[in-house]
Homo-oligomer: A and B are copies of this chain.
Amino acid sequence: MKQYHIPVEATLDVIGGKWKVVILCHLKKGTKRTSELKRLMPNITQKMLTQQLRELEDDGIIQRKVYNQVPPKVEYSLTDYGSSLNTILDDLCTWGECHLEKNNSTSMLITIED
């Protein structure tokens, strides 16, 4: 069993992956299909997207719903437990916005509209 030295390490184990916070920020706004997530994160590879989604699912943060149809359709959404991260996710987003403003670098931001 894994051993931590301070509790925050447990949080990082769950949301510390390179793309997990970004994925959760998108899912916080609502259910998304795999292809939607991919489009919202142009720089993520298919492999990493699947991998990070699986780990979040295994930790009970997100829910995976498969529609048995052709072509396939898979939807991801936050679980109730995952929603307990909403405050943190909001604060992380807000801090990022302020950080960008502070550096007069709003031009650094490209927002892909939903």
Contact = CB atoms under 8 A, between A and B. Distances in A.
A41 B96 CA distance: 27
Contacts of A43: 5
B95 A84 contact: yes
A59 B107 CA distance: 18
Tallying the copies of this chain within the complex gives 2
Interface residues of A, number: 47
A106 to B, nearest CB: 10
Contacts of A93: 6-8, 11
A3 B100 CA distance: 11
**Quick one: which of A5, A12, A100, A108 has the most chain B CB within 10 A?**
A5
Given A9-B96, A10-B99, A1 B111 contact: no
